[in-house]
Amino acid sequence: MEEGKILDIAHVSFLDMIKVMITMSGAANAKGTLIRNALSTADKIKEVSYDTFDDYLAAIENTTNPIAMIEGKSSHEGEHVFGLASCPFGPSIKNYMSVFEKMPDGYADFTAEFNKPSRVTDMYRVGEGAGVSPFCSVHQPMRSAVAEKITIDGKKIKIYQLGCKSGAGKKGFAEKWIDESGVSKDVVDKVLDNHMCCYFLKIVE
Amino acid sequence: MTKKDKKKRVLIVDDEEDMIWSLQKNLPNENLQVIIFTASSGEEALSILEKTKIDLIVTDIRMPGISGIDLLIAVRNTYPDIEVIVMTAFPSSESKAEVMEKGGLRFIEKPFDIKEMRDSVHSALKMDSHFEGKMTGIRLTDIVQIHHLSQASTVLRINDDGREGVIYFSEGTIVHATCDDLVGEEAFYKLMSFKGGTMETFYMDKFPESTISTPVDVLLLKGTLREDERDGNDDDLKDFDPELSPASEMLDEEGPPAAIYEPELEPINDEVYPAETNNEEKEEDMDELKELLTEFTNIPGVNTACLVGRDGFLLHSVALSGIDAEMIGAIASSGFGASEAMGKQLQKGGMSMTMVEYDNGPVMFSPVGSEAFLVIIADKDANLGMIRLKIKKHARDIEQKAGI
């Protein structure tokens, strides 16, 4: 532990709590609990309708868009592909690392568990390789669930998580969702060069 | 005669050395002054019985060589005054135990508390002195139930005053029977009508043929009802173990019991997880999965069967109206995960079937593959042995149909 650093316990206790959850009830159950927690938060978001896709983008810009409210401003990279420059958990991870120098044990197992095919990740089109840390199991399903509260021109939208990048720069790709969305993997790779997270928004006809 | 000579003699038979050691060490106490003999096989037990007067035998049911059932039959035929307690991993409810006791047979469920075993031994030995010389032999229905519950693969031969019949068990299921010139179910019912005789079991690598597909509990119920009709009274119903069987109203000459027993159940998975790709194969698998889960809820007293991912998200369920299967799955996953984590911490290996008992009935859990587990919610008087058997029988199919 590095001396002279202030630990942001409001956030970093969550990081250690994940480790405790893994120890107490296994990675699969911990994953389920975090996803359930994320869905519970998403459930509190009010439904929003936008007349046009441009209105949707404008709402991101002024952070009134529910997705922007949970993760900050994302940028539209064209063809409904979005990039998020900063991971919402970045500051907490950075603070934790600055004090303890490494992330808690068990995170790799947890991340592998999140990337496994499962009904819940299928339902929200997340994971499948796009998980690079346990926080992805909170962020990605929460975004997908929030998207269910949004309509554009009266039509529902679906989010496909295409890829994510760890703090160390390692990229994770969700081949399944890349294939299903029809977005080129090269495009995802390029978006991740300058962003931490990449997703596709589909307007359901 | 010395005081020591008045002590009752108990023979413990089990191929698990730990069990023998534990009972030998812990069973006798101030209130239960007994002399313990031990045998690690049925053969050894018979050898001890030839040389030593034994008052009570406590035997495991599944042993290599002469099984607990073979031993039981031999004891009933040769030493009818000896009390027997059968240790089995397949639980029986109180009423089942009561029925069995009437036939001179006691069950104790493994694992058991030593106090529970002491009470059983104490009670058995007291009963012995009370009913000395008046014990009747074990009945065919008891033997059939024991074979069924222990999932035995064996052949049971019954002789009664020149008449002979054979029942073939494959993993506890009756697959074939012969009696005089009858074959199949009719042969079985004929055997059920035998009023006495001797029984022996033996092993056979291959059964001659398969002529019976009716579940054992239905066979027993039908057999008992036929006997009723024949005898013109209801007394024989006491021979039938209601705990092992679906309710009598489930008995259907035309089809399986499931056709009649229809509790207020609702499959809820489709609403929870709309299928992304609705191909026919998947739908068929889901239908079959529902059928498999319904096999559990068709057991009287079982009201909910859920298949839950290890992450706590429901994969499929047949749940009693009003039960939030989604929430049950999430909570069960925590309990299951915690129990598994404890096993890992204690280096006890993977988790197998387990049960949590509540005031109003048990909840059973069983892993299904490496990614899911079953949750079976039952009432207090549900037949736990039947649930366990169905879990063992269907776990692999469920895993396959759920694609996990």
pLDDT at A202: 97
Residue of B nearest to A180 (CA): B276
Tokens of B279: 């191909």
pLDDT at B68: 78
Coil, strand or helix at B355 = strand
Domain contains B251:
no
Rounded to a whole number, what is the distance in Å from the CA of B258 to chain A's nearest CA? 29
pLDDT at B82: 86
Q: Among residues B197, B218, B239, which one ends one of the domains?
A: B218
* Domain interval for residue B99: 4-126
Q: Is there a single domain that holds both residue B148 and residue B101?
A: no
Q: Is there a single domain that holds both residue B14 and residue B108?
A: yes
Rounded to a whole number, what is the distance in Å from the CA of A120 to chain B's nearest CA? 7
pLDDT band at B263 (very low <50, low <70, confident <90, very high): very low
Q: Is there a single domain that holds both residue B293 and residue B377?
A: yes
Alpha-carbon Rg of chain B, whole angstroms?
Answer: 23
- Across the interface, whether the CB atoms of A120 and B336 are under 8 A apart is answered no
pLDDT tens, residue by residue, A72-97:
999 999 999 999 999 999 988 888 88
| CA distances for B255 relative to A23, B250, B294, B371, angstroms | 49, 10, 15, 34
pLDDT tens, residue by residue, A55-68:
999 999 999 999 99
Place of tokens 């840390």: A133
Q: Is there a single domain that holds both residue B76 and residue B167?
A: no
Domain contains B193:
yes
Q: How many CB pairs under 8 A join A and B?
A: 63
Q: What is the ipTM of this complex?
A: 0.81
Residue of B nearest to A116 (CA): B371
B159-182: average pLDDT: 85
- Name the burial class of residue B157, with classes exposed (0-12), middle (13-18) and buried (19+) by CB atoms within 10 angstroms of its CB: middle
Rounded to a whole number, what is the distance in Å from the CA of B314 to chain A's nearest CA? 8
Q: Is there a single domain that holds both residue B291 and residue B329?
A: yes
pLDDT at B29: 83
Q: Among residues B185, B203, B218, which one ends one of the domains?
A: B218
Q: Is there a single domain that holds both residue B155 and residue B181?
A: yes
Domain contains B133:
no
Domain contains B265:
no
CATH of the domain at B292: 3.30.450.30
Residue of B nearest to A30 (CA): B311
User: Closest Cα partner for B109 from B56, B73, B61?
Assistant: B61
pLDDT tens, residue by residue, B10-66:
999 988 877 888 788 788 887 788 889 999 888 899 989 988 889 899 988 778 877
Whether chain B has a CB inside 8 Å of the CB on A37: the answer is: no
Phi-psi region of A109 (alpha: psi -120 to 50; beta: other; left: phi over 0): alpha
Q: Is there a single domain that holds both residue B148 and residue B111?
A: no
pLDDT tens, residue by residue, A100-124:
888 888 899 999 999 999 999 999 9
A190 in Cβ contact with A86 (< 8 Å):
no
Q: Is there a single domain that holds both residue B201 and residue B287?
A: no
Q: How far apart are CA B394 and CA B387, in angstroms?
A: 10
- Report the residue of B311, B316, B344 to disrupt the A interface, i.e. the one with the largest count of A CBs within 10 Å: B311
Tokens of B69: 């059932």
pLDDT tens, residue by residue, B119-161:
888 888 864 443 333 334 567 877 888 778 777 777 788 877 7
Tokens of B144: 């059939």
Q: Is there a single domain that holds both residue B27 and residue B120?
A: yes
Does B100 have pLDDT greater than 80? no
pLDDT at A2: 60
Angle between helices B140-149 and B185-192 (to 10 degrees): 130
pLDDT band at B203 (very low <50, low <70, confident <90, very high): low
Q: What is the pTM of this model?
A: 0.56
Domain contains B212:
yes
pLDDT band at B279 (very low <50, low <70, confident <90, very high): low
Domain contains B12:
yes
Q: Is there a single domain that holds both residue B285 and residue B388?
A: yes
CATH of the domain at B104: 3.40.50.2300
pLDDT at A145: 98
Domain contains B121:
yes
- Region of poorest pLDDT, from A121-130, A184-193, B172-181, B248-257: B248-257
Nearest CB to B341: which of A26, A118, A119? A26
Q: Is there a single domain that holds both residue B211 and residue B314?
A: no
Helices (DSSP H) in A44-106: which residue ranges? 53-61, 66-71, 90-100
Q: Is there a single domain that holds both residue B101 and residue B146?
A: no
Q: Among residues B81, B98, B126, which one ends one of the domains?
A: B126
User: Closest Cα partner for A141 from A64, A67, A60, A54?
Assistant: A67
Domain contains B253:
no
Q: How many domains does chain B have?
A: 3
Does B246 have pLDDT greater than 60? no
